[in-house]
Structure 1
Amino acid sequence: MKNLLTDIAGVRVGHADDARLASGVTAILFDRPAVASVDIRGGGPGTRESALLDPVNTVDAIHGLALAGGSAFGLEAGGGVQAWLAEQGRGYQIGNAVIPIVPGAILFDLLDGGDKNWGRFPPYRDLGYAAAAAASDDFKLGSVGAGLGATTVNYKGGIGSASAVTPSGVRVAALAAVNAVGSVTIGDGPHFWAAPFEVGNEFGGHGMPNKLKPEVLAMRIKGGPAATSIENTTLAVVITDAILTKAQARRLAMMAQTGFARAIYPVHAPLDGDIVFAAATGEKPIDPLVGLTELGMIAGNVIARAIARGVYEATALPFAGALPAFRDRN
């Protein structure tokens, strides 16, 4: 176990980013199609193929996922991931056609100091292709891929990941691109809201303070009380090797959203586009009631841990006025 999303067999992750642009793409690929669904809680989402993931709709398995910066421009990243998969012959076969199914979501990083004057067409399709081509069973955390330009209210955000195993041996893992409107730390740290769920010292081992001071419970968001723009969003993917139906994957995504509430304060705001994709690779049977409940409980834990790691592992952007990284101050 590497404490990564790729602790689920048959899952690969790749990043592609541009330092001048200060933005990028993260691709998640499945060696075999995975049953998947989605749960959206933020008030300002930007998604690709999310309607397809509704349990009432026909297609129940996907070939990859695309997470990107760039706000709505970043939705083109899914086309790049799709193009790479099609070149490999991976997708649904309909006659002579090969159609990879690649849902995706985006976060807002257009004001992070990078040069977004890309000309007529944004670079996210090409970045999506490069991220898919780079996918492997090992990948970096922090300020990479879709997390390169991500921020929180007080610290640089980024890509985090975590994994766990249920008592019955079912694996569940998460990846998060953390670009929250609120804070992942209690005040300015060193404590994380997700500290009760930390395993080892994966985000510093600072634990919880003895008492929460009133000021750390006051609302603190990007743009302050007069915030008017949707400049945020935390994107998360939770994957298990359990055998799930599409409806069960939807329930897993819903339960996994509790991890956002454990790790971000405040969360699921009108200014966020928070989303959880859930996928199952279909290796191990579980009880449909108690087993799924346990799996969802642990999924919430690994998402909370992944969010904290996304901030803990981040590095500051090299621009004037850029937010500091957590480890620069703690």
Structure 2
Amino acid sequence: MIPGPQNAITDIAGLKVGHAQDDTLKSGVSVLVADHPFTASVAVQGGAPGTRETDLLAPDKSVAQVDALVLSGGSAYGLDACSGVVAGLRADGRGYRVGRAIIPLVPGAILFDLLSGGDKDWAENPYPSLGRAAYDTATGTTPIGTIGAGTGAMTAMMKGGLGTASLVLDSGITVAALVAANPMGSVTTPGERHFWAAPFEIDGEFGGLGPDTTMGLGRNLESRKLSAMQERANTTIAIVATDAALDKAQCQRVAIAAHDGIARACVPAHSPGDGDLVFSVSTGSIPLTAPSDLGAIGHAAALCLSRAIARGVYAATAAPNDLLPTWRDLNGDI
């Protein structure tokens, strides 16, 4: 397995990603859309999720495909970003048709960044407009770091961010991840230099420093974030995607497997105060040919998600009124 040309979720043909953020608000929205509706499912492992229309994605529900997925800051307010995306899709004539009616289907998930240091004293909820702007700017590439849904993200010890990564399997199937990393846990070992995800790094994509060789790690739960905020001010939300042809049940299995990627990159993960959630997407262009394909896709999704988390944090940039330093603030440019 090797990374795709962009090392991004947009390595999967037909997928586009858009971002919008307000630097004064210190929050934003990221949207995944495709040339056509796509099959999707979801797995929630955190104790404090915030979601919209995720029940549609259960394998036993009648809706087969959706039109977009949304990752947003803003906690419950951020769920309204989906409304902005719905408006954009409707304007483009896209959605589920029932007679003369058209209904864009846009599940979404949010992270908590209301205490990120930004000005949240708005008179009108800004997230519908941010959602529409993210949809309108979707392209076949995606930047990482302090952008979109990762704008106000924070980890235990430093700023979080938005990350992405991809892998091309020997079968030719591409698997990728997009994540807004805002966990309760740390993404680096004590000393804030080495990433927990280091064993899975490829070609120095988040510094190339390698694993921490210290033994007995994981017992120190120090957190700058918790000292400044509430325990529930967290959540890592992600999308994993593949061009393999999967049904909803298979997508759900991939989403479940991908959660291993969060656990390998964030310590601890899936806590009562996290709303950890993974969407799984199939564009359906490459048929499965072997019984082992589904397991390989789930494994690759977990690897991509770990790497995407570290890449997003590594790429985060400093901004006025930040509550936590960036990785580069602590370690310099490497």
- Asked if Structure 1 and Structure 2 have the same fold, meaning a TM-score greater than 0.5 normalized by the shorter chain, the answer is yes
Equivalent residue, structure 2, for 1:83:
87
| Bigger mean CA deviation after superposition, 269-278 or 135-144 | 135-144
Q: 1:91 to 1:194 in 2, by over 3 A?
A: same
Alignment partners' CA distance in 1, 2:290 and 2:59? 16
Within a 5 Å distance, the mapping from 1:150-299 to structure 2 comes to: 150-212=153-215, 214=217, 216-221=218-223, 222-223=225-226, 229-287=231-289, 289-299=291-301
Question: In angstroms, what is the RMSD of aligned CA positions?
Answer: 1.4
| Contact 1:154/1:188 (<8 A) preserved | no
Alignment partners' CA distance in 2, 1:253 and 1:14? 22
Q: Find out whether 1:148 has 2:135 as its counterpart.
A: no
Alignment partners' CA distance in 1, 2:112 and 2:282? 28
Extract unaligned runs of 5+ from structure 1. Answer: none
Extract unaligned runs of 5+ from structure 2. Answer: none
Equivalent residue, structure 1, for 2:134:
131
Aligned residues: 326
TM-score, length-normalised on structure 1? 0.96
Equivalent residue, structure 1, for 2:77:
73
Cα deviation, residue 228, structure 1? 5.2
Q: Which amino acid aligns with 2:197?
A: A
Alignment partners' CA distance in 2, 1:188 and 1:315? 19
Equivalent residue, structure 1, for 2:109:
105
Alignment partners' CA distance in 2, 1:287 and 1:111? 48
Cα deviation, residue 288, structure 1? 6.6
- SS of residue in 1 equivalent to 2:139: coil
Q: Which amino acid aligns with 1:327?
A: R
Equivalent residue, structure 2, for 1:37:
41
Per-residue deviation, residues 253-295 of structure 1 (Å, max 9, x unmatched): 0011110111000000001000000010000111473110011
- SS of residue in 1 equivalent to 2:80: helix
Alignment partners' CA distance in 1, 2:74 and 2:100? 34
Q: Find out whether 1:59 has 2:63 as its counterpart.
A: yes
Per-residue deviation, residues 213-261 of structure 1 (Å, max 9, x unmatched): 55x532234325x985410000110010000011000001001111011
Equivalent residue, structure 2, for 1:329:
330
Alignment partners' CA distance in 2, 1:287 and 1:157? 38
Percent identity (aligned)? 51
- SS of residue in 1 equivalent to 2:141: coil
Q: Which amino acid aligns with 2:166?
A: S
Per-residue deviation, residues 94-124 of structure 1 (Å, max 9, x unmatched): 22222111100000001111100111x3100
Q: Which amino acid aligns with 1:290?
A: S
| Contact 2:157/2:192 (<8 A) preserved | no
Equivalent residue, structure 1, for 2:23:
19
Alignment partners' CA distance in 2, 1:211 and 1:223? 24
- Please point out which of 116, 120, 126 is paired with 1:116: 120
| Contact 1:25/1:69 (<8 A) preserved | yes
- Please point out which of 28, 32, 40 is paired with 1:28: 32
Q: Which amino acid aligns with 1:4?
A: A
| Contact 1:316/1:322 (<8 A) preserved | no
Per-residue deviation, residues 120-175 of structure 1 (Å, max 9, x unmatched): x3100010000000000112110011111000111100100000011101000100
Alignment partners' CA distance in 2, 1:170 and 1:263? 24
